[in-house]
Chain A
Amino acid sequence: MKKIFFILMCMSAVFVSCDEWDPVYTFKYDDPGEYTPVEMTANTTIAQLKAMYDNTPLDIQQDIVIKGQVISSDRSGNIYRSLYIEDESGAIELKIGKSGLYNDYKVGQWVYVKCSGLTLGNYQGMLQLGFRDPTGDYETAYIDVQYIIDTHIFRGGIGTALQPAVLSESQILNSSNFGRYVTLKGLKYGSKDNGSAGEIFSLIYIDPDQDKTSQANRVFLSDKTYGVTTWAMSKQGFIDYLNAGNFDSATTGDGSRTVAAIKDELLANAAAYSVSQYFMMGNTEVQVRTSGYAKFADTQIDPSILNGSVSVDFTGILTNYKGAAQFTLINTDGVGIVE
């Protein structure tokens, strides 16, 4: 009897004392709290970094650290997978490549970027900091990989959000202002070519799964408004415009077919589309470009803006597309009606 108990005790001891007795912690978990802000010293300003670009993508190998405060938010969806940061010298777009960045990067938060290993490139006039694109399709690719992000982009403390710089008409085509958080005052709905009747630009694909560069697969909505009175078109918004016949007269890029003739195909392949609404700042045309994935894509533009009875102060990110002034709203709070 004693022997048996002795043996059983031995056996119990073996498995209870075993190092593999590692129960998964199943009781209370402590709240890990907020992130720990990183403190780093920048050795280069954003303007100095941008000045290093020389018409070809620059794979940065030097020990360059920039810092800036977050000025953009992708919460509304108009800015997507990118973050704009600004220091006293200028601003730059970080092509982080993740969605929902506003969850981790708050407006006003300091961000430090170790640029070595990243690539500085140009997209139609805008300088961007991203990752190498070996395909050569673009000058930079999205950074995307969490491990690259975590080893290059560091989150600092949250400072006071920057106030927008108020730019004059003469400053909006100055490249040092590109990417900055700005206010443009007193813009009127309309375009150079069409005056107060206005104009939009939107590029529609007949079948997004097919060659997007083929003119036969594209429809350009340009030169007039087509009755588009929203900032952009969500998928449903696009379908509604199509069904209402707004685009019937538009033709494919090669001029071979009208929208009316291919409407079924367009409806079947409907997607969200971005729209540029044209405004005039004095004599300079500004395209307010809004993504079809923005939450305010289908928001109606105030009729008093469209009929020219009021002017608008825009606050958001100043961008540039092939030399033309573009403007990206962060959200509809950036639209201020001036009575």
Chain B
Amino acid sequence: MYKKILSFVAILAFSLSVFAQSYPGGVKGTVVNRVGRLPVADATLTLFSGTNKLASASTDAKGDFYIPNLDNGMYMLVIEAPDFVKMQVNVTVNDGYVKNMFTLSLTPSQKMDETDVANLAEFDMEDSGYEDNPTVLFNSNDVFNNTVGYNFSPIRFKVRGYSSESQDVLLAGVKMNDAMTGYTPYSLWSGLNEATRTKESVTGTEVSQFGFGGYNGLTDIMAEASSMRSGYRFSVLSNSAFYRLRLMGSYASGMLDNGWSYAFNFSARLGGNDWIKGVYYRSFGYYGAVEKKFDDANKLGFVFMAAPGERGAQNGSTQEVYDLVGDNMYNSNWGYQDGKVRNSRVRKTHEPIAILKYDFTPGDKFQGSATVLYRFGKNGYTALDWYDAPDPRPDYYRNLPSYFYMENSDYNRRNYPKYVWAKEAWTGDYAPTTHIDWDRLYSVNEMNADTYGNRSKYIQEERRVDQRDLNFAASFKWRPYSWLTVDGGANAKINRTENYKIIADLLGGDYYLNIDQFAERDYSSSPAKVQNDLDYYMEHGSAQVLGKGDKYGYDYYAQIRKAGAWMNGAFSLGDLSGNIAGKVGYTNFWRDGLVRKGLFAGLDKNGKEIVVDGDNLTSYDPVTGDVITSYGKSDKSDFFTYAAKAGLNYVLGGKMRFYGNIGYFNDAPSFKQAFVSPRTRNSLVRDLTTVKTFSTDLNYQFSSDGYDVRVTGYYTTIKDQTDVMSFYDDLQNSFTNFAMSGIDERHMGLEVGFKVPTPVDNLSLKGVLSYGKYEYTSNPYMTQTVDNSADVTIDHQFVPYWKKTPVFSKDASGSYVTDASGNYVIDHYKQHYVSGSPQLASSLGLSWNRNYWFIDADVNYFADSYLEMNPLYRTDMAVAGPDGKITPAEVEYMTSQEKFDPAFLVNFSIGKSWFIQWKYQVGVNLQVNNLLNNKDVKTGGYEQTRLVDNTVGKERYYRFDPKYFYMCGINYMLNIYFRF
């Protein structure tokens, strides 16, 4: 690894000496609006050498400029245009060539900015391949977000601790967050970096020109043909953390004289990586766009794009497993099949997006646009499924040494010799123990002959979430007076997502049966009850025989309808500006079951109970008394939502800016959070309500003379969240579902970002600090159901230890103290935190650029990261144990939350680009992350929702070990690009 990086560096160093002759040169380029990338006409360009003004020029209607007759040297180019922020760029003219600056993008005023030639580097860095699923927004003109985007992604940093669902991602003005879950949709276009590069972002509670947004910013990706940088561009990228090779090519025509623009982008991402075996990419991307500008007022564009492919997934394991194999990047998802590595969990997707967008710009005062966007195709995720056969997963807890022996004898695991054997299998990497034994699975399947051939005992299933998502969005910007701008828009979404499973691979067998193997254990004497498709069974008298590609298990539509409208008024009076905005919305969703499951048969079409073979299959909710049904339409959930925002912005002396925002949001829960067990039935979570969020921030920004500083304080409360967690519980031998309601959080903290010059020319110091407290502020309620029966295992029970763990007083001898009435005395509480991001994240780095060399080095420190909690461990039931008695030791053990160790990371990057014959640009970037090769950094994990209950003492329960994910060790990214 090191050797390889060294050889790259050596080659880069070797290439220092290129070109050293002298000709009269010049500078040329195109000035565009950063937002929308349209050309800016009549921009004034002034060229300085030190403080001497040498030349000036202005752009033509296409935004082009040209300043000829320059000697070799370094210059400063100042670009000014009405309504845009003044920008200065360092230009080096070498070898007498006319330096092509390509596009220089101006930021619309309201925001202050200072851009230097590093902007070019920035574009290149965005190609890093690390942004496949960015955890934070890129807002390249913000020093904080810029650094956070590059340096904090590997540790899964989340801005202000917010969930990714809270981040609005728009494509051509249409909100693309997943209709069922709210997740950000970056994977829909990953690999199409060039086509999706042009975007506008706002952070926090700010309002964007393209949409109202939430409290965690908004990104609008333009994706139009005319928004892509014109010209050809090719790149080859290799990295060692995700996939080995990426090839990308693109072409954009720019706006042609006849008003047409067209653009293409293709990419392929292939191969495995150095750290996590079994993880691979075989992904592609295609994008085609065409646009016609009919006249000054009318423009119509069409885009078709997708990122099809497959990707092997990683799995988390317990620390015991990582320690046994001596590798925190161990992945239990793969095994050898006939000597080849095969991953059991593969994401297979092909979800094209078609966009039709119309822009209307009748004059300076009004512009409007309307978009129709349709997303469709398939999204699958494979997994092993098995019927009446041992669990094939290597890190299943019964395969681990700890299952046979634990030092704490209360666990009732006392066979040390077996522990030794199991340990030897793991430490000696005995493959049938440490990995999936595909050969055995095939052998079992091929030796199980019966009536219809070989009945597969192990199969690979593919869980499909296939969307049909039709969207309409319209927005306008109206500027009736020079001091007033009104933005607004309306949108609607019709989404039908079909959720089902198919047989992806019978693994050598001939067929599988459409029955519920979990139900079969409890209802083996009732063949009707174990049917996944009861109607089929009633018609044919036997369970459906399944072949490859057949649907089975469950099949339902998530039907989601959304509509909304928003408006924003912004005024600008000298140095003071502000805005006030409002939004209203309507969300409606329901489940539509397409198969009738034997366990939850419901009523027949005449409203009668369903009786098969003398078994009454109709069941009722023990709490509400309602019929539980898997088939047909559920009740519809309706939510009227609203939100309001306001902001004030004051510029002092042209260099300093004070601004603040405030917002209140009343949002609908997502489909995923609303159904207790959508795989099996129509039942909704009770007491479903909207999520109420209040958010405010105060900011200070300073930008001048190479100094760029931002300081932000924020405070956000999120109330009444619901969550549904589903997992396999092998004590119940069934999937079980926890529905939580009334989860409240508070996020508050400070963000600092700065970039300042140093006494050394071209060297600047940059730093970022994000310090927050993301806390739970309520104890929610929990309801537990199992997929196997109508039983409500836990009904709307308070989760008393969710937000904090009490720590009890002890006397000098270490015994717990009781008060006069015999109760244990609480000394203090330990707060529980929102997981998923370090709450302290900081970075300090040096950035040097000169003559198209870019060198960056930084040190990052992360702390206060917490493990995701499960509600079970915070209930009285789990704390009390089998004896029903709650003791301080049990409370402190069972309810506490794990905090991860802090981490140091060092990154380095170097890049260089060359201009060849003032026509071509070639560049190379090498980025090396985690130079210290730190392999002990936890990026996430979760608690297993299970208890060790078979104790000797019968007094208490124990937790199962949590599962973790780790960041990979030293890794590189090398990008070579060529454009003209």
* A binding-site residues for B, Cβ under 8 Å: 1, 3-4, 7-8, 10-12, 14-15, 18, 20-26, 29-35, 75, 77, 98-100, 103-104, 106, 131-135, 141, 144-148, 150, 207, 209-211, 234-237, 293, 295-299
Contact = CB atoms under 8 A, between A and B. Distances in A.
A306 B411 CA distance: 45
| 3 cross-chain pairs, A with B, having the tightest CB-CB distances, nearest first | A147-B425, A24-B280, A298-B525
Interface in B396-410: 398-399, 404
B447 A106 contact: yes
Contacts of B904: none
A25 B341 contact: yes
Contacts of B524: 77, 234, 295-298
Q: Interface size for chain B: under 10, 10 to 19, 20 to 34, or 35 or more residues?
A: 35 or more
Interface stretch (B157-165, B414-422, B686-694, B805-813): B414-422
Contacts of A132: 415, 417
B407 to A, nearest CB: 14
Given A20-B4, A21-B244, A299-B525, A133 B280 contact: no
Nearest to A20: B274
Contacts of B908: none
Contact of A7 (B4, B14, B444): B14
Contacts of A21: 244, 271
A32 B338 contact: yes
Contacts of A4: 15, 18, 914, 916, 922
B830 interface: no
Interface in B285-343: 310, 312, 337-338, 340-343
13 contacts: A1-B917, A8-B924, A29-B337, A30-B338, A31-B446, A98-B390, A106-B447, A131-B415, A132-B415, A134-B417, A135-B414, A145-B404, A296-B525
Contact of A8 (B280, B508, B521, B976): B976
Contacts of B340: 25, 29-30
Contacts of A131: 415, 417-418
Interface stretch (B364-372, B433-441, B831-839): B433-441
Nearest to A101: B390
B863 interface: no
A271 to B, nearest CB: 11
Contacts of B917: 1
B443 interface: yes
Contacts of A98: 390
Interface in B79-105: none
Contacts of B417: 131-132, 134
Given A7-B15, A35-B443, A145-B422, A12 B525 contact: no
Given A20-B240, A25-B340, A75 B414 contact: no
Contact of A32 (B421, B438, B448, B976): B438
Given A1-B917, A10-B11, A147-B421, 20 more contacts: A3-B15, A4-B18, A4-B922, A14-B4, A15-B238, A21-B244, A23-B244, A23-B270, A32-B443, A77-B524, A100-B389, A103-B388, A103-B444, A131-B418, A134-B416, A145-B425, A147-B422, A210-B954, A234-B525, A295-B520
Most chain B CB neighbours (cut-off 10 Å) among A75, A134, A293: A134
Contact of A144 (B280, B310, B338, B418): B418
Nearest to A136: B414
Contact of A34 (B15, B399, B447, B954): B447
Nearest to A8: B976
Contacts of B399: 146
B960 interface: no
B274 A34 contact: no
A12 B976 contact: yes
Contacts of B914: 4
B404 A144 contact: yes
B424 A147 contact: yes
B974 A15 contact: yes
Nearest to B447: A34
Interface in B228-246: 236, 238, 240, 244
B108 interface: no
Nearest to B525: A298
Majority secondary structure of chain A interface residues (helix, strand, loop or mixed): loop
B815 interface: no
B325 to A, nearest CB: 14
Interface of B: 1, 4, 7-8, 11, 14-15, 18, 236, 238, 240, 244, 270-272, 274, 277-280, 282, 310, 312, 337-338, 340-343, 388-390, 398-399, 404, 414-418, 421-422, 424-425, 430, 432-433, 438-440, 442-444, 446-448, 457, 508, 520-525, 882, 914, 916-917, 922, 924, 949, 954, 974, 976
A99 B390 contact: yes
Contacts of B272: 22-24
B430 A147 contact: yes
Contacts of A29: 337-338, 340, 342, 438
Contact of B439 (A14, A22, A32): A32
Contacts of A18: 4
B7 A14 contact: yes
A32 B440 CA distance: 9
Contacts of B236: 12
A132 B418 CA distance: 9
Contacts of A297: 524-525
B523 A141 contact: no
Contacts of B433: 146-147
A109 B791 CA distance: 43
B438 A3 contact: no
B974 A24 contact: no
Contacts of B240: 20
Nearest to A209: B882
B390 A7 contact: no
A24 B92 CA distance: 45
A86 B524 CA distance: 30
B954 A209 contact: yes
Contacts of B421: 145, 147-148
Q: Interface centre among A25, A30, A147, A295, by most B CB within 10 Å?
A: A147
A20 B272 CA distance: 9
B424 to A, nearest CB: 7
Nearest to B398: A144
Contact of B432 (A14, A150, A237): A150
A146 B4 contact: no
A148 B439 CA distance: 19
A289 to B, nearest CB: 18
A33 B280 contact: no
Nearest to B14: A7
Contact of A100 (B18, B310, B457): B457
B916 A26 contact: no
A2 B415 CA distance: 70
A309 B835 CA distance: 69
A1 B15 CA distance: 12
Contacts of A75: 388
A145 B432 CA distance: 12
Contacts of B422: 145, 147
Contacts of B271: 21, 23-24
Contacts of A31: 338, 442, 446, 508
B343 A234 contact: no
A7 to B, nearest CB: 5
Contacts of A100: 388-390, 457
A3 B18 CA distance: 8
Nearest to A155: B443
Given A20-B4, A141-B418, A146 B425 contact: yes
Contact of A103 (B337, B425, B448): B448
A15 B4 contact: yes
B450 to A, nearest CB: 11
Nearest to B414: A135
Contacts of A106: 447
Nearest to A299: B525
A119 B343 CA distance: 38
Nearest to B279: A24
B342 A236 contact: no
